[in-house]
Amino acid sequence: MAQQLVGKLALVTGAGSGIGRSTCRVLRDYGARVIAGDRNLNAAEETAKELGDRGEYYDVFPLEIDVSSMESVTNAVAKTCKQFNTAPSIVVNSAGITRDGYLLKMPERDYDDVYSVNLKGTFMVTQQFAKAMIEHQTKGGSIINLSSIVAKMNNIGQANYAATKAGVISFTEVASKEFGKFSIRVNAILPGYINTPMVAVVPDKIKEQVVMRCPLGRLGDPSEIAEVIAFLASDKSSYVNGASIEVTGGLK
């Protein structure tokens, strides 16, 4: 396997499940050392154990981080920089939640919770880890934000989620313009429907409709998102900046 990420240190949030866990595996397989960050420390430890137990690599380190708390994010930055004596040059914002419901019945709490994790969490992790990259003069930084095709499809019942994921696209573009001078690239990925615990709770009827509308006729596998993340993390994408890449099997 190509080792295009050898010598790089990566932080992945939401690493205890789904796309985040798969991303840890793929980045590790390409040679990176990976910090598996999640609010659920047991799940992050499970990711590290699963990957560590598989072969010769012991390069996945669990980290507790709640991306919706500035205190937790700054603690995570301090802990990481102390442990590795540098800042990660790759940051993947994969932590995300849904609280679906019709707009007229949506509790304010469900709006706030989704905002706090998906959009404000992306802001806090990006801001604090980018500061650390700049302080440590990290070369060739790459930040990858998980948006969603829902930002463009705007499904009913997802006013909170769709708004945050559309926000992630704009946020990514602004960050890419501000960080270019520090050689830090910032890009977003818009996955379609991917087989993870997040999609497991979507009613079967909706999933069948999605599969019918998808030109490839199936849901995606988390590894198919992780491979694109690995490309954006590597120097192979050195001129890709401020992009929003759809990975949906052609679903629009």
At 96, phi and psi to the nearest 5? Answer: -165, 155
Nearest approach in angstroms of CB 248 to ligand NAD is 9
Kindly state whether residue 120 participates in binding ligand NAD, applying the rule CB under 6 A: no
Q: Which is nearer to ligand NAD, 33 or 39 (CB)?
A: 39
Distance CA 196, CA 175 (A): 28
Binding mask 127-146 for ligand NAD (x = CB under 6 A): -------------------x
- Pick from 10, 11, 14, 142 the residue near ligand NAD by CB under 6 A: 14
Kindly state whether residue 249 participates in binding ligand NAD, applying the rule CB under 6 A: no
Kindly state whether residue 193 participates in binding ligand NAD, applying the rule CB under 6 A: yes
120-135 helix and 70-84 helix, angle to the nearest 10 degrees? 30
Kindly state whether residue 196 participates in binding ligand NAD, applying the rule CB under 6 A: yes
Active site residues: 161
Choose one: 4-12, 32-40, 77-85, 172-180; the region binding ligand NAD (CB under 6 A). Answer: 32-40
Site for ligand NAD in 61-100 (CB under 6 A): 65-68, 94-97
Kindly state whether residue 148 participates in binding ligand NAD, applying the rule CB under 6 A: yes
Q: Which is nearer to ligand NAD, 139 or 252 (CB)?
A: 252
Nearest approach in angstroms of CB 133 to ligand NAD is 20
Kindly state whether residue 167 participates in binding ligand NAD, applying the rule CB under 6 A: no
Count of residues in contact with ligand NAD, rule CB under 6 A: 30
Could you list the residues that contact ligand NAD (CB under 6 A)?
13-14, 16-20, 38-40, 43, 65-68, 94-97, 117, 121, 146, 148, 191, 193-194, 196-199
